[in-house]
């Protein structure tokens, strides 16, 4: 946090969420949402200290291979099978400011579309050298990066013949618990994106496009791995210049 060490932490409440940009809770094309969506209106309230604060994790929680899914579950000297890629990007807030020091967690299927999970029954093979989880903490400029195998598409019991596009799940913390976000990253050019009922829960095409990572040829490492760029935007927060201080009164 070198360039910000003299500035006070931001404590303003967050911009209201644009819930027309996010998917609605009830989206019957994604069948499981039917019984898992609240029917009553949400209770809206400007953020209190319980939401504008949030947990912050130090780099000490990270192991050396946490951001290397090709190797963090592999046997010594071996590596996961599939297309080697680097995924990198920045975490910004809605004001365009980098969000440093925040934890990102990723999970995904292997190259054949098979998850390492006891509830998963897809007949594609498990890769003995691929676990499918990783994590990273953003640097002072909000940057993160990890390397992995490009995941495969996989079928799921929704419609008779529904398949998920290749995707990587992201869990992101911000500086306040109200910024907590889970989303999915898709890959540029995948024709499956526009057929997917889960993607289709998002009403706005531009919002969907915000989840599609472009191929980043410039950062591709020759003879090693291609790169994809995926920037993540968290809620911005107001200045507290003209607001009651929380510690006041």
Partner 1 sequence: MVQELGYLKETPSQTAGPYVHIGLTPNYSEIVGVYEADLGSTMVNDKTLGERITITGRVIDGAGAPVRDAVLEIWQADSAGLYNSPSELRGTADPNFAGWGRCPTNSADGVFRFETIKPGRAPFKDGRKMAPHITFWIVARGINIGLHTRMYFPEETAANAEDPLLARIEHKDRVATMIGVKEGSIYTFDVHLQGDKETVFLDI
Scan residues 173-212 and list those touching partner 1 (CB under 8 A): 175-178, 180-184, 198-199, 201-202, 206-208, 210-211
Site size with partner 1, rule: CB under 8 A: 101
Q: Decide if residue 236 touches partner 1 (CB under 8 A).
A: yes
**Contact range with partner 1 by CB under 8 A, out of 37-45, 79-87, 141-149, 219-227:** 37-45
Q: Decide if residue 125 touches partner 1 (CB under 8 A).
A: no
Among 2, 5, 7, 118, binds partner 1 (CB under 8 A): 118
**Sequential DSSP letters for 100-148:** TT-EEEEE---TTS----TT---SSPPPTT---EEEEE--TTSEEEEEE
Identify which of 89, 183, 104 has the alpha carbon closest to the alpha carbon of residue 143: 89
Here the tokens at position 72 are 């963090």
**Contact range with partner 1 by CB under 8 A, out of 78-86, 129-137, 140-148, 217-225:** 129-137
Of 85 and 232, CB closest to partner 1: 232
C-alpha distances in angstroms, 196 versus 159, 166, 202? 10, 11, 11
Here the tokens at position 13 are 């409440």
Among 45, 76, 160, 241, binds partner 1 (CB under 8 A): 45
Residues tagged active-site: 115, 154, 164, 167, 169
What is the x/- site pattern for partner 1, positions 136-165, by CB under 8 A? ------------------------------
> Dihedral of the CA atoms 28, 189, 148, 225 (nearest 10)?
180
Do the beta carbons of residue 78 and residue 129 sit within 8 Å?
yes
Handedness of CA 33, 126, 136, 58 (dihedral sign): positive
Q: How far is the CB of 54 from partner 1 (least distance, A)?
A: 6
Q: Decide if residue 43 touches partner 1 (CB under 8 A).
A: yes
Q: How far is the CB of 45 from partner 1 (least distance, A)?
A: 5
- How do 143-149 and 84-93 pair as beta strands? antiparallel
Find the binding residues for partner 1 in span 4-23 (CB under 8 A). Answer: 8-11, 13, 15-19, 21-23
């Amino acid at each position: 946090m070198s360039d910000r060490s003299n500035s006070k932490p931001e404590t303003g409440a967050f911009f209201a969420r644009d819930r027309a940009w996010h998917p609605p809770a009830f989206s019957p094309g994604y069948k499981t949402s039917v019984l898992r969506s609240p029917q009553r209106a949400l209770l809206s309230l400007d953020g209190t200290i319980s939401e504008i604060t949030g947990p912050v994790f130090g780099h000490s929680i990270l192991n050396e291979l946490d951001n290397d899914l090709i190797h963090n579950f592999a046997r010594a000297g071996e590596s996961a099978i599939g297309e080697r890629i680097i995924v990198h990007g920045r975490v910004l807030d809605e004001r365009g400011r980098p969000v440093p020091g925040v934890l990102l967690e990723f999970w995904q299927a292997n190259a054949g579309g098979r998850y390492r999970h006891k509830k998963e029954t897809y007949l594609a093979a498990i890769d003995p050298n691929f676990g499918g989880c990783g994590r990273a903490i953003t640097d002072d400029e909000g940057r993160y990066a990890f390397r992995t195998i490009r995941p495969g598409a996989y079928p799921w019991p929704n419609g008779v013949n529904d398949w998920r596009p290749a995707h990587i799940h992201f869990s992101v913390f911000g500086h306040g618990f109200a910024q907590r976000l889970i989303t999915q990253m898709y890959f540029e050019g995948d024709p499956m994106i526009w057929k997917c009922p889960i993607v289709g829960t998002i009403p706005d095409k531009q919002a969907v496009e915000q989840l599609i990572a472009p191929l980043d040829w410039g950062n591709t490492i020759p003879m090693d791995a291609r790169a994809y760029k995926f920037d993540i935007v968290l809620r911005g927060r107001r200045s507290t210049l003209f607001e009651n201080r929380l510690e006041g009164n």
